């Protein structure tokens, strides 16, 4: 028996080391006026990324640039649209980390409509985006958010009344994603670790999700298998290309699984934490993943019943240990593995970013469970946060 499911569109995916050389050919399919979106500093230390841009400049393509410094705000997107609407690009290419790809995705969508970006954000604006856009090509230089295969762009405004919301439409999935793991070789260890934990969280949350389906389960398991064998290596040995390939592959799959199966409580926390504090998304995921899984598993075990979630946790434990054992024992192996990995990768505590015990009630009140397999109480949510706050 196979349960019913719907699978959303994916980009045309061009994956492999050296595949950045196909970018110009992909761009020319759409025309010769190109808007290139990049990060401010990250690209400068990425020789292969700079080389890719040089190659575009040397081709017959008329290129305009827009740089984005941090996670994109509605004002950043509006500025890019204002500066480039008269240029009328035939395609938008984003070369960078998840924030840069989100920015490019949003710019390609906002170039075709009037009004400000804020008007179209989920739960913030009242306007509904028709799904029109300029063709969009994503070229990731980190392995983490999976934005290269998702249909939403995360737009943030950080502060007391901050938000972290999506500009979303099925059509916003990139037309093409050129995923060249060599472009991630220059990614520094702490960003490799945090981005990798984001991909890991996304794969695990979509696997455990109440909305998972047979296809997302298969993709999540394959992504997790590749990720667990390489995340530590990619952090410790930045030049290890096979490890970078595994991470880029896992991140790409995590985007597909999250679009189709949804996410869980760690991403529920990521919205308020990322909007109230200046804390990278990957760090939120990496720092909370261990405690969130431990408390979720404890709750599952308290019922004493067999459940889909327990079997899935056991499957994850088997992936780690390849050991034949009772479900409970395998499930605990997974939870312990995540805690050890968090330590080994030196994922920072929330305290480093100014989060204190006094903030927990506000954060919990703004946290949604998303498609988490188990209902967690406010007290349980608070205890997840306190595990990662130094007292």
How far apart, in whole angstroms, are the C-alpha atoms of residue 128 and residue 38?
Answer: 27
Give the residue with the Cβ less far from Fe ion, 36 or 94: 94
Give the pair of three-digit tokens for residue 335: 């939870």
Give the residue with the Cβ less far from Fe ion, 259 or 319: 259
Could you tell me which stretch among 154-162, 193-201, 297-305, 308-316 binds Fe ion (CB under 5 A)? 193-201
Could you tell me which stretch among 8-16, 28-36, 65-73, 197-205 binds Fe ion (CB under 5 A)? 197-205
Give the residue with the Cβ less far from Fe ion, 266 or 310: 266
Minimum Å gap between C-beta 298 and Fe ion is: 24
Cα angle 290, 296, 297 (rounded to 5 degrees) comes to 90
Give the residue with the Cβ less far from Fe ion, 11 or 146: 146
- Which residues between 91 and 130 bind Fe ion (CB under 5 A)? none
Minimum Å gap between C-beta 147 and Fe ion is: 9
User: 């950080």: which residue's tokens?
Assistant: 158
CB atoms closer than 10 angstroms to residue 279: 21
Minimum Å gap between C-beta 91 and Fe ion is: 26
Minimum Å gap between C-beta 281 and Fe ion is: 6
Write the CB contacts of 377 (distance below 8 Å, at least 6 apart in sequence). Answer: none
How far apart, in whole angstroms, are the C-alpha atoms of residue 250 and residue 246?
Answer: 6
Could you tell me which stretch among 11-19, 191-199, 226-234, 333-341 binds Fe ion (CB under 5 A)? 191-199
User: 């979630």: which residue's tokens?
Assistant: 309
Give the pair of three-digit tokens for residue 225: 């298998």
Give the pair of three-digit tokens for residue 48: 């292969």
Cα angle 15, 21, 27 (rounded to 5 degrees) comes to 90
Give the residue with the Cβ less far from Fe ion, 167 or 310: 167
Give the residue with the Cβ less far from Fe ion, 147 or 333: 147
Minimum Å gap between C-beta 284 and Fe ion is: 8
371 lies in the site for Fe ion, by CB under 5 A: no
How far apart, in whole angstroms, are the C-alpha atoms of residue 73 and residue 171?
Answer: 21
Give the residue with the Cβ less far from Fe ion, 89 or 268: 268
Taking a C-beta distance cutoff of 8 angstroms, is the pair 110, 130 a contact? no
71 lies in the site for Fe ion, by CB under 5 A: no
Length of the chain measured in residues: 391
Give the residue with the Cβ less far from Fe ion, 20 or 168: 168
Minimum Å gap between C-beta 154 and Fe ion is: 8
Q: Which of 354, 322, 319, 311 is nearest to 338 (CA)?
A: 319
How far apart, in whole angstroms, are the C-alpha atoms of residue 129 and residue 106?
Answer: 11
Could you tell me which stretch among 61-69, 164-172, 194-202, 344-352 binds Fe ion (CB under 5 A)? 194-202
Could you tell me which stretch among 160-168, 196-204, 324-332, 356-364 binds Fe ion (CB under 5 A)? 196-204
Using CB under 5 A as the binding criterion, the count of chain residues that bind Fe ion stands at 1
How far apart, in whole angstroms, are the C-alpha atoms of residue 67 and residue 36?
Answer: 8
Identify the DSSP state of 20: G
End-to-end CA distance of the chain: 51
Minimum Å gap between C-beta 152 and Fe ion is: 11
Minimum Å gap between C-beta 68 and Fe ion is: 18
User: 């006094």: which residue's tokens?
Assistant: 358
Report the run of H or E that residue 164 belongs to, with start and end.
Answer: strand 163-168
How far apart, in whole angstroms, are the C-alpha atoms of residue 358 and residue 227?
Answer: 35
198 lies in the site for Fe ion, by CB under 5 A: yes
Give the residue with the Cβ less far from Fe ion, 142 or 213: 142
Minimum Å gap between C-beta 145 and Fe ion is: 6
In the bound state, the residue with its beta carbon closest to Fe ion is 198
Q: Which residues bind Fe ion (CB under 5 A)?
A: 198
């Amino acid at each position: 028996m196979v349960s019913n499911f719907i699978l959303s569109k994916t980009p045309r995916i061009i994956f492999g080391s050296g595949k950045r050389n196909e970018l110009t050919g992909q761009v020319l399919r759409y025309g010769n006026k190109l808007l290139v979106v990049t990060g401010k500093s990250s690209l400068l230390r990425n020789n292969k990324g700079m080389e890719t841009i040089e190659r575009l400049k040397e081709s017959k393509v008329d290129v305009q640039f827009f740089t984005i410094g941090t996670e994109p705000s509605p004002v950043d997107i509006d500025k890019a649209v204002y500066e480039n609407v008269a240029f009328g690009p035939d395609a938008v290419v984003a070369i960078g980390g998840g924030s840069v790809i989100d920015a490019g995705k949003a710019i390609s969508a906002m170039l075709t409509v009037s009004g400000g970006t804020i008007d179209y954000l989920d739960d913030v604006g009242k306007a509904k985006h028709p799904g029109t856009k300029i063709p969009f090509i994503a070229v990731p230089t980190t392995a983490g958010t999976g934005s290269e295969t998702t249909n939403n762009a995360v737009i943030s405004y950080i502060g007391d009344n901050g938000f972290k919301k999506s500009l979303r439409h099925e059509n916003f999935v990139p037309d093409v994603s050129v995923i060249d793991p060599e472009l991630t070789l220059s990614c520094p260890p702490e960003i490799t670790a945090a981005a990798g934990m984001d991909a890991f969280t996304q794969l695990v949350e979509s696997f455990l999700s109440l909305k998972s389906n047979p296809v997302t389960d298969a993709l999540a398991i394959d992504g997790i298998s590749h990720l667990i064998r390489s995340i530590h290596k990619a952090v410790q040995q930045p030049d290890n290309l096979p490890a970078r390939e595994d991470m880029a592959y896992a991140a790409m799959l995590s985007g597909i699984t999250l679009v189709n199966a949804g996410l869980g409580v760690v991403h529920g926390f990521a919205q308020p934490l990322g909007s109230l504090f200046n804390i990278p998304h990957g760090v939120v995921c990496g720092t909370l993943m261990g405690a969130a899984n431990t408390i979720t598993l404890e709750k599952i075990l308290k019922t004493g019943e067999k459940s889909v979630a327990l079997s899935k946790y056991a499957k994850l434990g088997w992936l780690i240990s390849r050991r034949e054992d009772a479900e409970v024992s395998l499930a605990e192996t997974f939870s312990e593995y995540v805690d050890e990995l968090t330590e080994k990768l030196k994922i920072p505590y929330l305290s480093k970013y100014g989060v204190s015990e006094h903030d927990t009630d506000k954060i919990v009140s703004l946290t949604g469970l998303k498609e988490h397999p188990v209902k967690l109480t406010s007290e349980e949510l608070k205890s997840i946060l306190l595990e990662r706050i130094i007292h």
